Amino acid sequence: MSKPLVLVLCTGNSCRSHLAEAILQRAVGDLIEVASAGSKPAGFVHPMALEVLREIGIDASAHRSKHLSEFLLVPVTTVITVCGNADQVCPMFPGQINRHHWGFKDPAHATGTPEEIRNEFRRVRDEIRLVFEAYAAGLKEGSVRAK
């Protein structure tokens, strides 16, 4: 039996969804599979997202920007949208049991000096980390009780 899949969606799949995917996968270990996709993928993962993940010890350099259609025939247990646009266009996936929407400001739209922009990426990363690590703790606790 395969592990449950949690799919994190955002419009561009270049920043917030990759931050959430990487943070959740690290926090939950091998209990579940985590992937991310977008309704209108940008075609790249934002370099600053990769940089701020490296700062907390996560290497997401193998991540790629994907369209949500890649997952339409895959059993998805949980869909989590991290931006309002993705929440509005999110389809139902085969096997989908849960759906959550936790919106975060897009740091890719930050303006200012390079350091101000980097700090905005860090701020959003830390918000995502707080939410997704708490979610992972709940999944782990539920798994322990189920055994």
Please give the positions annotated as active site.
Answer: 10, 83, 90
From the list 70, 51, 9, 3, the residue with the least C-alpha distance to 31 is 3
Burial of 76 (0-12, 13-18, 19+ CB in 10 A): buried
84: closest CA among 111, 65, 102?
A: 102
Q: Are strands 33-38 and 5-10 parallel, antiparallel or unpaired?
A: parallel
